[in-house]
Structure formats: structure tokens, C-alpha cells
Structure 1
Amino acid sequence: MSNIVFSKTDLQKIVAIAKQAGEAIMQVYAQTDLQIEVKQDDSPVTAADIASHNVIVAGLKQHFAEIAVMSEEAADISWAERQTWQTYWLIDPLDGTKEFIKRNGEFTVNIALIHQGKAIAGVVYAPVLGKCYSGIVGQGAWLEHNGQVSVLDISDTAVQSPPIVVGSRSHVSPDVAAYLQTIGEHQMLSVGSSLKFCMVAEGQADVYPRLGLTSEWDTAAAQAVLESAGGQVVEYPALTPLQYNQKENILNPYFIAASSAWFARK
């Protein structure tokens, strides 16, 4: 499968699946007991993560049975198998589990389509916020909010003065602090999960520097949305495109997600 055609009709199927997963998450969110467990890597997992995973996998099998699936909650897939994949779904059923536990609403459902190492389509759904971001690289990006759909296009957006930097609410990296010093005067915003990419895609922030650990399922869907909107996600400091399924481990290198104007500035 050297080429793949993914249409807006296909994207709407993924949007529907993400919303169904969001409903499953919200059923748990409404409960007093979030049923929190701790995985081997000391990260939390809740009943909502599992419920969302099950909804997404079932939906993908129904509509796209021929495409492999990798999920944070079913990641035990050998490199020998993964490296044969040209195309696959990469999902994080509940990105921002810590935000979910804090009940601040800043968590998302992430579903991405990876083809030949690139995130070519993605959906990011924030059920509490009622926001659904979607995009197909080369075709466009959209935000659905309160029943209204708007186009996301930051391809001609200038860097704000002072620049607005978005960062993590749950993770602070010393390397980010050093990067911020190179920017000079700036405004800093904090938000959880993949919403940081989406703020750049909406034009609400100029840059998201992530100079700390993330996994591939944390970033793929939102990268697809941002790049569909005219932004870029590049490894740092190499400034080469952030890619997927290129190595045995699923950790991302450091990266910068930003508007194209950010990278063009002097």
C-alpha cells in the first residue's frame, strides 16, 4: 500500500468513533470512584481508559478492518510485527489521565492514521469541552464546537507579540526552561493533554516546545490536526519532521510544535 486515499467521509467515521469513546469516558467521569490503577511504568490508568479503548477498537474494526491498530492500552506488539506496517491506527483512548483524575476537563480521545511513518489524519476529541478537532494532511483541518464547524488554517498567521507559548500542566522540563530563555519575552499558557497542539492549530498559541518524554500515541492525532491546519511538528534540535514507527521503542524525541511562521522567524 504505497499510496492511501483517506476522505472526509472516512474522517467523519473517526469523529463518530471518538465521540462514542468520549461518551464512555464521561460515564466513568460522572462516578465517584474513578477506579484508578497504576501500570508498570507508574502511570495511572482508569476504567475510562479501558472503556474508551474498547469502543475505539470495535469501531475501527467495523469500518476499517484491514488496517492494524496500536493503542496505549494494547501496546504489546512486537517490533518484528510493527516494522512491517505501512499503515496503521495509533490511538490514545484517554490522553491526559492525570487531568481526568484531577477532573479539570483537559483530557482527550486521540485517534491517528499513520502511513509510512507520517501522521496523515487525526481526530482529537475533548468531551468535557465539547470540542472535536480533526484533520487530513493536504485536505484541511476543522474544529467542531457546540454544533458549529469552523476551518482551522494558520498557514498565513503571524507570530504574536509577545509570542504565546503553551506548555504542560502536569510535566515541567528543565530543558523547556532553557528553550524559553532563547525566546525572550513571551506569554506562557498551561493546558493538559494533546490540547496544546490544538491551541496552536487554533491560533491561540504560537509554539509548544516539548523537551521531555512522550510516547507516539500522545502526539500523532494532534500532530495530524496541526499539520493539516498549516503548522509543523519537528524534532528538536534536528528540526526534521516528527515521524512514527521508525524504531523499536515508542518514545518520541524532543520536539517543537508550532505555526510555520514560528519556524520562519529570524
Structure 2
Amino acid sequence: MPPASDEEISSAFERIAIDAGRAAYALFKNGCKVEHKPDKSPVTEADRAAEEIIQRGLAAALPGIAVVAEEAVAEGRMPAALGDEFILVDPLDGTREFVGGRGDFTVNIALVRKSVPEIGVVYAPARGWLFVGRPGLAEKVVLDETFQVASRHRVHVRQSGDALDILASHSHKDAATEHLIASMKVGKVHTVGSSLKFCLLAAGEADIYPRCGPTMQWDTAAGDAVLRAAGGTTSTLDGAPLIYGYREGSGSSRLANPAFIARGGKAKAG
């Protein structure tokens, strides 16, 4: 029987993400071939191996729910329709971090319901961190070197002061985001790779993550689910909640995000 409750679904996501992360981490340590997609973004054997593990796991745990996965989309395989409930997968977010030997890459799995990311897991195998979010609960899980859970505790966003601690992309800097940051009262700016930026907001370690550069829905959904479960928000620049699902356009452009701002407690732009 497929998982019925949010807890069962998040537990299934955890198991699948850990399996995929274990495979990706082995290739991170031992090295693997790097190729480039038509858009010049890198893709590795680890991306494909992790996605295969995730797809198999989801087919067994949640059969019948549409799955949108990054590497499948890159090969032209997208569900014809998503419905009110679907899954977004980024098997290796932060591929540039992975290729560069930095440990900020993550495995992301999220369940979207009625355009809202409600259940998400973000696993950073090189750091031994796994973040989980579902309605009413956000947790940080620490795994040991054997990929077993060593500790688990709840996380929650913090309330910001006047000066904001800001998170910015390590590998994807752009002028529009820099301009937006310049409009804020800045305390510190920290550069972090992948969807860990959402998770650090969720854990109360920073206040705001603005992003004007291009992202896809699979890049953000899992981290966004963790952040929302921890009491944070993600909105477009006009203040509307960031929503998920097919947009106007064709191909993968239907899954592109607009510019957004992810916030912890009472952080405000400007």
C-alpha cells in the first residue's frame, strides 16, 4: 500500500533521498565524468544515478502521482498534466558545487499540492545533513558516516533585526540580485550553494534569500517546503506567494520560476 499520511510520505522521501545521496556521494569522492547540456549547464553520472534511484523509489512508494524530474525533463520527458498533486525532483542540486569539489550539493524531493510545496526533503550527503518539512513540522536530521540517523531536532525560522543576514548563491550571481540586495539594510552576506539556502533560513541561521537569476521549480520546491514548514515564506517580488505547476510556454520553460524572495521571520526587503 502507498503511504497515506504526510508522515509516511516524508519518511519515504527521506529513505529515497538517503539512498540517492549515498550513490551521489560515492561518485563525488571517487570522481565521475562531467558532460554539458545544450544550455551549457553541467550534468554528471551522479545526477543520472541519483535520479534513477529516486524514480524507482517513488514508483514503489507513491504510484500514480506525476513526477517531474530534472534529467527526465532535459531528455524531453514531462507528464502531460500534473493535476492537484505532483512530485518535483532535483537529483543533484548544485552540480557546479559537486564538480568543484564543494559539499553544498543536495538531493531534493518535494510533494506539491494545489500549487503549494507541502512536503519536502533536502539531503546534503557531503555534510551529513537532511532537512525535512511537512505541514506543522520542520526538522534537521544529522546522519553519521554510515548514513544512519545520529540526531534529529525541530527547526524554526528566527525573527530578524533591522540588519538582515542575507544568503546568496555561490555559483549563480547576477546583477539584478546584487541590485536587490543593495536596496536592503544588510548585516552580512553569506554565499551558499544549492537549496541549502532555504534550509539555513528554516534553521534560523539567516534572514533572507533573494533570487532574481534563473531557477527551475525542481531547484526550489523541496527547500521551499522545509522553509514554509519552519514558519518562513517565499514570494515573488510583488509579494505574491511563489506557486508551482506548469506555466505558460513550452517544454522546460513551463517550469521556470520568476524572481523571488525567501524569508525567515519578520525579514522584509527594502
Query: Structure 1 length as normaliser, TM-score?
Result: 0.91
- What one-letter code is carried by the residue in structure 2 that aligns with 1:120? E
Determine helix, strand or coil for the equivalent of 1:88.
Answer: strand
The 5 Å alignment of 1:115-154 reads 115-136=113-134, 138-146=135-143, 147-154=150-157
Measured against aligned partners, the alpha-carbon deviations of 1:109-168 in whole angstroms (never above 9, x if no partner) come to: 0000011211111000000000000111x32111101411110122xx320453200100
**Structure 1 Cα separation of the partners of residues 84 and 163 of structure 2:** 42
Measured against aligned partners, the alpha-carbon deviations of 1:13-59 in whole angstroms (never above 9, x if no partner) come to: 11010000001101211224x21011111111000000000000000
Aligned length: 255
**Structure 2 Cα separation of the partners of residues 85 and 64 of structure 1:** 15
The 5 Å alignment of 1:252-263 reads 252-263=257-268
Task: Indicate the residue corresponding to 1:209 in structure 2.
Answer: 210
Measured against aligned partners, the alpha-carbon deviations of 1:189-224 in whole angstroms (never above 9, x if no partner) come to: 001000111111111110000011101100000000
Contact 2:23–2:50 (Cα < 8 Å) also in 1? yes
Cα distance, 1:71 vs structure 2:
0.3
Measured against aligned partners, the alpha-carbon deviations of 1:234-265 in whole angstroms (never above 9, x if no partner) come to: 011x11111111414211000000113114x8
Q: Unaligned regions of 5+ residues in structure 2, if any?
A: 144-149
- What one-letter code is carried by the residue in structure 1 that aligns with 2:133? G
- What one-letter code is carried by the residue in structure 2 that aligns with 1:132? L
Determine helix, strand or coil for the equivalent of 1:145.
Answer: strand
- What one-letter code is carried by the residue in structure 2 that aligns with 1:200? L
- Across the aligned residues of Structure 1 and Structure 2, the Cα RMSD in angstroms comes to 1.7
**Structure 1 Cα separation of the partners of residues 9 and 85 of structure 2:** 15
The 5 Å alignment of 1:186-225 reads 186-225=187-226
Contact 2:68–2:78 (Cα < 8 Å) also in 1? no
Contact 1:212–1:254 (Cα < 8 Å) also in 2? yes
Runs of 4+ in 1 over 3 A off after TM superposition: none
Determine helix, strand or coil for the equivalent of 1:56.
Answer: helix
**Structure 2 Cα separation of the partners of residues 87 and 184 of structure 1:** 38
**Structure 2 Cα separation of the partners of residues 6 and 67 of structure 1:** 15
Distance 1:185 1:26, change over 3 A: closer
Identical counterparts, % of pairs: 35
Contact 1:117–1:246 (Cα < 8 Å) also in 2? no
Cα distance, 1:101 vs structure 2:
0.3
